[in-house]
Structure 1
Amino acid sequence: MALPPRSVALAATDGMLHFELALAYEVFDAAPAAVRVPWYDVSVCGTQSVRVGRFRLDPDHGLDRLAHAGTVIVPALADVDEDPPTDLIEAVRAAHEAGARIVSLCTGAFVLAAAGLLDGLRATTHWAHTEQLAARHPRVTVDPDVLYVDNGNVLTSAGKAAAMDLCLHLVRRDHGSTIANIVARRLVVPPHRAGGQAQFVTTPVPARDDHPLADVIPWAMRHLDQPLTVEDMAHQANVSSRHLTRHFHAITGTTPLQWLLTQRIRRAQELLETTNDSVDTIATAAGMGTATTLRRHFRRMVGVPPDTYRQTFRP
């Protein structure tokens, strides 16, 4: 039987990239000082000494240990033209059959696909390799336009920064938004980018202080309790609604309204975790208007109703 999700095994094999492996280790290995909940127990699993980038790494355990973990993370492979190692594929498949949550970062998705874990599911990988993944594994629905995909017990991410997004998403699933934000603050990264956000955006952050979005994004965050519209944001940015939408997509990879909805849900999560306010009060504070509206969007985006979410993350 698989251990709880907080038992994390990082699968290591020759030819893996060190960035994603180190990133996952950094997120899950040590809890920030402000966190007072049981944290993850991390181990690195592989076959003897493995080459990770230009480094040699001595794993803590063999690949057979994956079947005893609650969460298995498969970092990126440097060479996706070759089939993944057979022993890694078999170990990941065995872990899945034992009930583990299986997570791939970047091109680690090729391992999950080779193990058959993505058949019939939606998945993603680095945008430069999505066509290759789709061609090699036609039973997988490859989405090249998202940061990560959460199928419950099988999750995939795009490359590099998106791998961090997925790791923080897992922390948020396991421990709630407040603790995920603490982890993000320690790592000095954005606390949350929705998985459906585009992988490739023209400019990831406003390049200049006078960029139209340099002021409007923090302004909107301060006014989430108000019924903001695209026109309101465009007026604040002193641009037309069309120009605002174009700038928003270039900077965030999504539309102003979708970005607003994501921020409102995040605010609701934080209030559900940290206050005893009613769902009606939280709906108002998050700018959702009514509890009915909040419940509808919250369940669609988070996967559970607000009351269930509160019971999960508040004693």
Structure 2
Amino acid sequence: MSGTSRRLYGELERDGVTLVQHTTGRRLVDYISTDALHIVLNLEGQAIIFGQSLRLSLTAGTMTVFHRSTDGMFSASRLQPDENHHYLILSAKTSWIQQTFGSKREALHPNLVQILNSGKASTTSLSQVRSMSLAERELAEELVSPPVQTAAAPFWYMAKIIEIFTLHLFTPQTLAGDNLPFCSSIKKTQKERIEKCIAWLKDHLDEPLDLKSLAQSIGCATHYLSRQFSSSTGMTLKQKLRQLRIDKATNLLRDGDYNVTEAAMEVGYNSLSHFTKAFIEEKGQKPSDIIAEHRRNLA
């Protein structure tokens, strides 16, 4: 079965680190370099990895972290040669790990410390195979399609790669369980991104939703931002914009300084009928009911 291999960042021998996207093609073992640490995000298909004291079985939606030595038995292959396989491999030479993180080796994963101290690295796992979280799946998509201009992509990748290694290599707790610092970091980023989205929508209530401009202001790909916002808030960006518009219109009507038409125009509605329909769907009452309620309170 034919396939492709696309280098997203770096060359291992030249830069010490590389990120490559693979689909079904050559043998998996051909992509696992020696004397290097590998983080594998297995998006589709199944694979088996064997080495010295290493037995890893990857299924769709799982990930793992391991180091391959320069000698000794090692094998990596797709479980079903004819099935589709799609995965990302982030690899770093031992020398790059040493140069980048060696000054803080006392805080690193014990297996990695042993590799750095021994001078003769062994094939060993730093993480058992585990399911990727939703945040990690979204990160994988973002790695394939970075949310920055082409000229900025190398800088974005380098920063992201440092972040990923930092969150995976320091202490065993970063590699197992549901409360991963890696996941927590991504969740924090997601929360900040959602907050920025809502702030942007509030600043552009009277304008049609411009998803491209919004995504650029946040620094995120449009399709990724839409999906992330929906999964985090339970509503689409358009639904959130409507909610914010109607909330503001409600406050304007309750203050008594705006009539229905003025409130509608203030929050971006050019059609009074569309405004009234949206208002009823959001509040369960007509905008004129808010004005009547305000007048009763003044009486």
Decide: shared fold, TM above 0.5: no
Q: Please, what TM-score do these two structures have when normalized by structure 1?
A: 0.32
Structure number with higher helix proportion: 2
Higher alpha-carbon Rg: 2
Structure number with higher strand proportion: 2
Q: Please, what TM-score do these two structures have when normalized by structure 2?
A: 0.34
